[in-house]
Amino acid sequence: MDPATVPAPSGLLLAASVAMLAAALWLLLPKSSDTLASRRLGILLGALALVGFAATGRSLGSVGENGVFLTVSAVALVSGLATVVTRSPVYAAIWFAMALAGVAGVLLTLGAQFLGVATIVVYAGAILVMFLFVLMLAQPSGMAPYDRVTNEPMLAASAGAVLLGLLSMSIGRLSAIEPPACCRMPSRADAIASGSAAPVSPEAGDEVARLGAELFGRHLFSVEVAGILLLVALVGAIAVVSRGEAAAESGREAA
Amino acid sequence: MSLSISHLVVLVPLLPLLGAIATVLLGRRLGPRAHLPALAGIGAAAAVAALVLLGTAADVRGGHGEPSRPVEVITTLWNWATVADAGVADTASGTPLGGAATATAPFSIPVSLRVDPLTATLLVIITGVGLLVAIYSIGYMHGDPGYPRFFALVAMFVFSMSMLVAASNFLLVYVFWEAVGACSYLLIGFWYSKPQAARAAKKAFLVNRVGDFGLAIATFLLWMTYGTLDFHDTYTADGTIVPGILGQTRLSDAAGYVGGAVGTAICLLMLLAACGKSAQVPLHVWLPDAMEGPTPASALIHAATMVTAGVYLVTRSAPLFIGCPGALTVVSIVGATTALVAALIATVQNDLKRVLAYSTISQLGYMFAALGTGTMLGFTAAIFHLVTHAFFKALLFLGAGSVMHAMGGVIDMRRFGGLRQLMPVTALTFVIGAAALAGVVPFAGFFSKDEILAALHSKAHPAAHASDHAEVRVAGGALPDAAAGPFRAASYRSDAAPRGAAGDAVGLDALDRPATFQWLYWMSLFTAGLTAFYTFRAVFMTFTGPLRVPEEAGHHAHESPREMTGPLMVLAVLSAGAGLVLFVTDALGRFLAATPSLSAPAIVATAVPHAFHLDLAIQGTLAAAIGIAVAAIGHYGRRSDSATTARWLGPLGPILANTFYFDALYRVAIVKPLEALALVAALVDRYVVDAAVDAIGRVPGTWGAVARRLQSGLLQRYALAGVVGVLAIVLALAWQLRP
Amino acid sequence: MIPAPLLINALLVGAGLFCLGLVGILTRRNLIVMFLCAELMLQGVSVTLVAWSRYHGDWGGQVLTVFVLTVAACEAAVALVFVLQAFARTGRLDAAAWQSLREETLPRVIDRELPEGDAAGPTWPTLTPAGVRPPEDASHTLEREHV
């Protein structure tokens, strides 16, 4: 499948998609004049924008492949949109978990099995739970006022949509901006092309094993540094908590 | 002897300078003994100056030739600055004198001191009177919070004044001319918290600037004309001579000096400088106000020494003036006019120190009148009067200070009287000083004033004096070559004619007529009578009659302490005897004749045998007697205070009381326009310059006020701004990478 | 190795996630939701990295994604501590609660109008009450003292 054979989407479609996405975001973001109709219109426009952006993509050949990819990416994007626009932070967190599932699906589709699973385990299993703990600790009863209004929704939605449009345009023209050979990092693909490295075997288990070998071989030092970083973050968080509590209490006493 | 003199002369200014520095450094620690370093410095300098005088006198006597051989000793300490290739601009009026000062002559300023009779005499006067005044000040300034400062300034002044008279270079003269002005300024404003004192100091400074400006321009012109500023000849390594302005080489050259317009301009500018420093009309207005300073400072600076700097300058530059008879006559006219005007004003003053201040102006006028005759007699008479005046005017000022000290600062003669009962020593010495000033027969002033009158008379009536010096008159002032022989070095080319040489006369020269000097003679004689009148009016008002003491005096009303009466007595002896001794022996006249400046052929030609002119002495004594008699009658008949005097004077009264409206005239003609100009400048500064600066200063503030609104404290607005920036960059990239 | 169309599609998904997260960061005021959105942006980046890594057959991208995971965990730990501290001081999870950091002369930004409709908030599922604590029995405690 040569990308050059697939016709690039027209600029008009892209512009329409950007405008619809901006409008959808603006309509869906929490604000005082929310009505059910405006939310529905927002959902409709968002769906249309999703379709528009999907049209800038490429066909993957078989219907099955297309279907799987479209499904997981739609789950990821729709859940992401819902994370952003949902008023209740708890629901937002749950939508985020959904988005993570979609992302994991995309990663699996791409053939990164380890990362797909790790995302679920680390993010949904650890980080997100931590968020929920904090929410339970800190969330006041009822809907907080700051969850019901947003900051500069029009401008932010436009900026985000325009940025997405620009990125889509660039991605669509990807074949035109392949970097010249001199500026490319020597990659395994080049090595394979030049015959100096064996082609990667497609077996799944092999993929994970190779990633592990890469991590603990070439990138061992970085892994150790990342481990130390984790330790430092842990110690730092504990230190801040204990000191902050003391300060808060003394502040309360002084008050 | 000359070797030791060249060393000693360095010590004369150096010792007071060290004293001043020591006083500045140690003054606070020494407390009531702060006078010691300054006193030691000035005292030692006085002793050294006396040695210098004796050595110079020995040198003069050593040369038996007649006319007296010029004596000078030059000590070059170091070279202050050398400007290579400082060419003399080849102006339209001619080329520089001689071959030495060519268009690429280096301009060097050697710091060199000289000793000649004139300098030696003045050094003794400066350090001697300085020492007496310093001793007197121990008593007078006792307990003043600025005690160390006063002595530091006095020592500094003695240093500056010694350097002024010892410097052998016009630029150095200018430097120390300013230095004594600065000391004078600081001493007039010594009690700076008193508004009048501060104002008087400012006035003295500003009025002196006018004169200093003249000296600066004169110095420039001298450099342009003669290519050097040295007084003395300089012998270079290769045997050539760079003739100094007052050096032997040029003096012995008949065509050595520039006359005409340039010469007259130089002389008149120097006269302007002298008028400023010596308080001659029309720049005399600062001296009466300068009496706001401490009385010892007035005695030293504004009576005995600094104000005579103008007389010194003209005497030193005598050869320059001789070539410009017009300028010389102007000197005389200015002097005689000043003498008369100041004497008239003095007659109505009620402030004892102001009487003495105007008297000083008047006596300085006498000296200038004598200088203006341009004869040997005139120059020596002026210096003679300078010497005797230093003695008796210092005495009078110190006496006035003694009275002021006893009267608790009151100096208005109408408020006290009969003080001879209270302060016998002060009264006696003051009367001696007054007699000397008035020109009473055996006292100093009589002889010096008599010589001045004689000098004027000989100019006014040349025929009557023709017999005096017919045998020495030489046409054109040129001396036979033999006299100048030793100095005529091979390399010095005298054939190069100086610009504007003797021939071309200036319109001003027309003033140089006997008739002018007849007027000046009678003016001076009348002034002599006035001098006697106002002097004894002051004596009578202060010391005779019933005892009256103002209430401010308090417990001070008694004779002054020994530190103050001692100098008074010394000065009284000098005032009484110095004139007689110096006149009878003619020591000063013969001594001064050996000064290089006065050994110019044109001056030597006017020398006359020393003689006592009985007819002139009778005229002078008569004038003095009339003046004293009028004062006595006025005082004993009706009190000579302002009301009675005003009735006598009639319409002249207000004019005199307002000092001929000089101050008012200056106020209207100079001060007010300048104030208006200053106001305009101030307004421009405030509303144009300042406003512009402020406007520039407000620009960042305005920008800040605009940009400040961006700091809302809302984190997400900052993030949004960042995203918008990113978007802009991405847009720019997309635009650049467009297909 | 993945084909080019898959790369392009994956990049589009990554860009979409990134931009959605960005909009969320900029608009939502709840600190927790802001962090969720930041994580969403990280997910977009991860997808992009993995897509390129697979396209080039190079492991670098995936290794980098592992590190992204690690750093995200660290970030979450530390940032949540700060969020808790902020909550302890203001009682709110509001990013706009720290407006006092603004320029002195500027007025405070106040929300003029709030939607009335959903002030009550969502109704959370509840469990039926069970296992009620029995009342304290004084005699029972007295008995215990003899044990």
Instruction: Convert the pLDDT of each residue in B43-88 to its tens digit.
Output: 999 999 999 998 888 888 765 545 557 888 888 888 888 877 665 5
Average pLDDT of every residue of chain B: 83
Whether A187 is covered by a domain: the verdict is: no
pLDDT at B228: 81
Q: What one-letter code names the amino acid at B652?
A: L
Which stretch of A176-180, B437-441, B572-576 has the lowest confidence by average pLDDT?
A176-180
Contact with chain B for residue C50, Cβ under 8 A: no
Q: Is the dihedral of CA C86, C91, C94, C95 positive or negative?
A: negative
Q: How much is the pLDDT for B93?
A: 40
Nearest CA in chain C to A144: C119
According to the model, what pLDDT value does residue B22 have? 92
Could you count the other beta carbons within 10 Å of the beta carbon of residue B681?
Answer: 11
Phi-psi region of C113 (alpha: psi -120 to 50; beta: other; left: phi over 0): beta
pLDDT surpasses 50 at A191: yes
Q: What ipTM, to 2 d.p.?
A: 0.82
The answer to whether C110 faces chain B, any CB pair under 8 Å, is no
Option in C27, C95, C106 nearest B715 (CB): C95
Question: How many Cβ atoms from other residues are within 10 Å of residue B94's Cβ?
Answer: 16
Q: What angle do CA B732, B733, B735 make, to 5 degrees?
A: 65
As a whole number of angstroms, the distance between CA A69 and CA B348 comes to: 122
Helix axes B117-140, B309-316, angle to 10 degrees: 170
Mean pLDDT, range C41-67, rounded to an integer:
90
Question: A156, B723: Cβ pair inside 8 Å?
Answer: yes
Residue C78 touches chain A, beta carbons under 8 Å: yes
Do the Cβ atoms of B253 and B293 come closer than 8 Å? no
Residue B466: what pLDDT? 60
C111 touches chain B (CB under 8 A): no
B1: confidence class by pLDDT, cuts 50, 70, 90:
very low
What percent of chain B lies above the pLDDT cut of 70? 87
Per 3-state DSSP, chain C is made up of helix, strand and coil in percentages (nearest 5) of 65, 0, 35
Candidate from B709, B713, B716 with C-beta closest to C26: B716
CATH of the domain at A122: 1.20.120.1200
Task: Answer yes or no: is pLDDT of B194 > 80.
Answer: yes
Other beta carbons less than 10 A from residue C63's beta carbon: 19
Confidence band for B392, pLDDT divided at 50, 70 and 90: very high
pLDDT in tens, B273-291: 999 999 998 888 899 989 8
C 17-36 residues with CB < 8 A to A: 17-24, 26-30, 32-33, 35-36
Is B136's pLDDT higher than 70?
Answer: yes
Which residues of B are less than 8 Å from A165 in CB distance? none
pLDDT at C142: 60
User: What pLDDT was estimated at residue B334?
Assistant: 93
Mutate to test the interface with C, among B703, B709, B712, B718 (most CBs of C within 10 A): B712
Q: What is the mean pLDDT of residues B323-349?
A: 90
- Taking alpha carbons only, the member of B209, B216, B207 closest to residue B173 is B216
> Does the distance separating the beta carbons of B727 and A169 come in below 8 Å?
no
Structure tokens belonging to residue B239: 């045997």
Closest CA to B600 of B704, B470, B484, B735: B484
Tokens of B362: 């008047």
Instruction: Name the class of domain C4-92.
Output: mainly alpha
Burial of B375 (0-12, 13-18, 19+ CB in 10 A): buried
Q: CB-CB: which of B711, B713, B723 is closest to C98?
A: B713
Q: What whole-number distance in Å separates Cα of residue A104 and Cα of residue A123?
A: 10
The residue among C112 and A105 whose pLDDT is bigger is A105
Q: Is the dihedral of CA B305, B55, B579, B68 positive or negative?
A: negative
Paired sense of beta strands B234-235 and B73-83, if any: unpaired
What are the φ/ψ torsions at residue B109 (nearest 5 degrees)?
A: -115, 90
In a 10 Å sphere around its CB, with 0-12 CB exposed, 13-18 middle and 19+ buried, how is residue B727 labelled?
middle
Per-residue pLDDT band at B531 (split at 50, 70, 90): very high
Residue whose token pair is 């006149």:
B583
User: Residue B513 is which amino acid?
Assistant: R
Residue B714 has its nearest CB partner, among C25, C96, C105, at: C96
Is C66 touching A (CB cutoff 8 A)?
yes
If DSSP codes are grouped into helix, strand and coil, which group holds residue B230? strand
Q: Greater confidence, B44 or B259?
A: B44
Which of B56, B9, B353 lies closest to B162 in space, CA to CA? B9
| C-alpha span between B128 and B117 (Å, rounded) | 16
- Do B78 and B86 meet the contact criterion of CB atoms below 8 Å apart? no
d(CA B592, CA B119) in angstroms, rounded, equals: 9
Are residues A211 and C63, on separate chains, in Cβ contact within 8 Å? yes
> How many Cβ atoms sit within 10 Å of the Cβ of residue B373?
28
pLDDT, tens digit (0-9, with 9 covering 90-100), for B585-627: 888 888 888 888 888 888 888 888 777 888 888 888 888 888 8
Q: Convert the pLDDT of each residue in B202-224 to its tens digit.
A: 999 999 998 999 999 999 988 88
Among the partner-chain residues A155, A163, A173, the one whose CB lies closest to the CB of B730 is A163
**What is the total count of domains within chain A?**
1
- Per-residue pLDDT band for C88 (boundaries 50, 70, 90) equals confident
Closest-approach residue (CA) in chain A for B725: A159
Chain B residue with the nearest C-alpha to that of C27:
B716
pLDDT at C145 over 60: no
Query: Average pLDDT of B692-713?
Result: 88
Q: Which residues of A touch B739 (CB under 8 A)?
A: 173, 176
Interface mutation target, options B703, B710, B714, chain C, most CBs of C under 10 Å: B714
Q: So what's the pLDDT on residue B361?
A: 93
d(CA B405, CA B399): 10
Q: What is the pLDDT of residue B603?
A: 82
Share of chain B above pLDDT 90, in %: 34
**Confidence class for position C137, pLDDT limits 50, 70, 90:** low
Q: Could you tell me which chain A residue has the CA closest to the CA of B724? A: A159
pLDDT band at C46 (very low <50, low <70, confident <90, very high): very high
Sequence length of chain B is: 739
Statement: residue A175 has pLDDT above 80: no
A119: containing domain:
3-178
Q: Token match 């008739």: residue?
A: B515
Domain residue limits, chain C: 4-92
Q: E strands within A9-64? A: none
- Measured CA to CA, the distance from residue A80 to residue A100 in angstroms comes to 9
The answer to the question of residue A203 being in a domain is no
| Cβ–Cβ below 8 Å for C59 and A188 | yes
Residues B287 and B207: beta-carbon distance below 8 Å:
no
Chain A residues whose beta carbon lies within 8 Å of the beta carbon of residue C49: none
A73 assigned to some structural domain: yes
pLDDT tens digits, one per residue of B462-510:
877 665 544 444 333 333 333 333 333 333 333 333 444 444 556 777 7
User: What distance in Å separates residue A85's CA from the closest CA in chain C?
Assistant: 8
Q: Which of B305-319, B371-385, B481-495 has the lowest mean pLDDT?
A: B481-495
What is the pLDDT at residue B710?
83
A178: exposed, middle or buried (C-beta count within 10 Å: 0-12, 13-18, 19+)?
A: exposed
Distance CA A69, CA B242 (A): 109
Q: Do C89 and A251 touch (CB under 8 A)?
A: yes
The pLDDT assigned to A247 comes to: 67
pLDDT at B96: 46
Q: Give the span between the Cα atoms of B525 and B517, in whole angstroms.
A: 12
CA–CA dist B501, B478 (Å, integer): 13
Residue B124 has a pLDDT of 93
Q: Is the pLDDT of residue B640 over 70?
A: no
Closest CA to B270 of B225, B217, B232, B323: B217
Q: Which residue has the higher pLDDT, B325 or A187?
A: B325
Most confident of B170-184, B586-600, C92-106: B170-184
Selected residue with higher pLDDT from B86 and B421: B421
Task: Give the model confidence (pLDDT) of B15-38 as tens digits.
Answer: 999 999 999 998 888 888 888 999
Residue in chain C nearest B722 by alpha carbon = C26
Q: Is A184 helix (H, G, I), strand (E, B) or coil?
A: coil
Dihedrals phi, psi of B438, to nearest 5 degrees? -75, -15
**DSSP category for residue C28:** -
pLDDT at residue B134 tops 90: yes
Provide the pLDDT for residue B429: 92
Signed CA dihedral, B128, B131, B134, B135: sign only: negative
DSSP codes joined into one string, B564-599: HHHHHHHHHHHHHHHHHHHHHH-HHHHHHTTSGGGG
Q: How many CB atoms lie within 10 A of CB A11?
A: 11
**Least CB–CB distance from B723: residue in C26, C96, C98:** C26
Q: Is it the case that residue C40 has pLDDT exceeding 70?
A: yes
* pLDDT, position B108: 78
| pLDDT of residue B308 exceeding 80 | yes
Tell me if C77 and A126 make a contact (CB, 8 A cut-off).
no
Instruction: Please name the member of B720, B731, B737 whose beta carbon is closest to the beta carbon of A155.
Output: B720
Q: How far is B704 from chain C (nearest CA, A)?
A: 11
Task: Report which of B27, B270, B36, B307 is spatially closest to residue B187, judged by C-alpha positions.
Answer: B307
How many Å apart are CA A151 and CA C28, to the nearest integer? 6
- What whole-number distance in Å separates Cα of residue B312 and Cα of residue B122? 9
Residue B560 is given by DSSP the state P
- Within 8 A by CB and 6+ apart from B478, the residues are B254, B601
| Of the partner residues A155, A160, A166, the one whose CB lies closest to the CB of residue B734 | A166
The nearest CA of chain A is from the CA of C90 a distance in Å of 10
Best A14, A151, A164, A175 residue to mutate vs chain B (most B CBs within 10 Å): A151
Q: What angle do CA B243, B249, B250 make, to 5 degrees?
A: 75
